[in-house]
Amino acid sequence: MDQSENREDLARKTTRAKLDFIRHLSTYCIIIVALAIINNITGGGYQWWIWPAIGWGVGVLFHFLNVYTFRSGTLEKKLIDKELKKMDEDQ
């Protein structure tokens, strides 16, 4: 397996992770809006939907950080670039 195939695999994994996050965020938004509507249609009062929004929102935040910061974003890319530079220097 050559370097171009490795880069293609990495690009494919990164794209898949970003699409998974977008699906997760979309599902979160739809469900939370539906819960808020149900809460307000059935009498409003105590806004209980906020608790699932906060709990699930934390999960969405960590998913975002994993995809765009730690995984395919800056940290992993920097580490990969650093390793590739080391390999080039060793040759």
Q: What does pLDDT average to over the chain?
A: 86
DSSP class of residue 42 equals T
Global confidence as pTM: 0.72
- The pLDDT tens digits of the residues spanning 31-63 come to 999 999 999 999 889 999 999 999 999 999 999
Total Cβ atoms within 10 A of residue 53: 19
What DSSP state is assigned to residue 47? -
Q: At what angle do helices 3-41 and 50-65 cross, to 10 degrees?
A: 170
Could you list the residue range(s) of the whole structural domain that residue 62 is in?
A: 3-90
Q: Count of domains in the chain?
A: 1
